[in-house]
Amino acid sequence: MLCLVLVLAGAARIVSTYRGIAQTSDETPNIACGMQYLDLGRYDYGAFHPPLARLAIAFGPYLYGARSQHKPDRWQEGNAVLDSTPRPAKALALARLGILPFFLLASAVVWLWGRRLVGEWGAVAAVFLFTNTPAVLAHAGLATMDMAVGAGVCTALYTFTRWLEEPTLKRSVLFGAGLALALLTKFSSILLLPVCCAALVVLYRPGWRGRNWAWIAVAFVLVWGAYRFSFGPMSEHVARDAAEQGGLWARIPQGLLHVVESTPVPAPRILDGLWQVHNHIEGGHTAYLLGHNSFHGWWYFFPVALAVKLPLGLLLLTCAGAFSRKVRVPAVLCAAMVLVNLPTSLNIGVRYMLPLFPLLALVAAGGVVWLWERQRMAAAALLVWIAVSAALAHPDYIAYFNELAGSHPERILVDSDLDWGQDMRRLAAELNRRHVAYLHMACMYTGDDTRLGLPAWDGLEPYRPVKGWVAVSYTMLKNYAWMVARQQGRSDLAFAWLDGYQPVGRVGRSILLYYIP
Query: Which regions of 235-357 does DSSP assign to beta strands (E)?
Result: 265-266, 287-289, 292-294
> What does the pLDDT read at residue 230?
94
For 7, 118, 248, 328, 390, the CA distances from 363, given in Å and listed in that order, are 19, 10, 39, 8, 19
> What does the pLDDT read at residue 283?
82
Pair 115, 122: CB distance under 8 Å: yes
pLDDT, tens digit (0-9, with 9 covering 90-100), for 380-400: 999 999 999 999 999 999 999
Residue boundaries of the structural domains of the chain:
16-97, 289-409, 423-516
Mean pLDDT of the chain: 94
pLDDT surpassing 90 at residue 410: yes
pLDDT, tens digit (0-9, with 9 covering 90-100), for 184-227: 999 999 999 999 999 999 999 998 888 999 999 999 999 999 99
Res. 240 pLDDT band, cuts 50 70 90: confident
What type of residue is 481? A
For 19, 50, 471, the CA distances from 449, given in Å and listed in that order, are 16, 29, 14
pLDDT, tens digit (0-9, with 9 covering 90-100), for 255-296: 888 888 889 999 999 999 998 998 888 888 899 999 999 999
> What does the pLDDT read at residue 34?
96
What's the whole-number mean pLDDT along residues 444-470?
Answer: 94
Percent helix, strand, coil in the chain, to 5, is 60, 5, 30
pLDDT surpassing 80 at residue 313: yes
pTM of the model: 0.95
To the nearest 10°, the Cα dihedral for 60, 65, 68, 69?
-140
> What does the pLDDT read at residue 506?
95
Pair 98, 59: CB distance under 8 Å: yes
> What does the pLDDT read at residue 284?
84
> What does the pLDDT read at residue 249?
78
> What does the pLDDT read at residue 194?
96
Side-chain-side CA neighbours of 218 within 13 Å: the count stands at 18
What's the whole-number mean pLDDT along residues 141-169?
Answer: 97
> What does the pLDDT read at residue 244?
80
Cis peptide before 343 (omega within 30 of 0): no
What's the whole-number mean pLDDT along residues 48-56?
Answer: 96
pLDDT surpassing 80 at residue 250: no
Side-chain-side CA neighbours of 142 within 13 Å: the count stands at 29
Pair 318, 267: CB distance under 8 Å: no
pLDDT surpassing 90 at residue 56: yes
> What does the pLDDT read at residue 336?
96
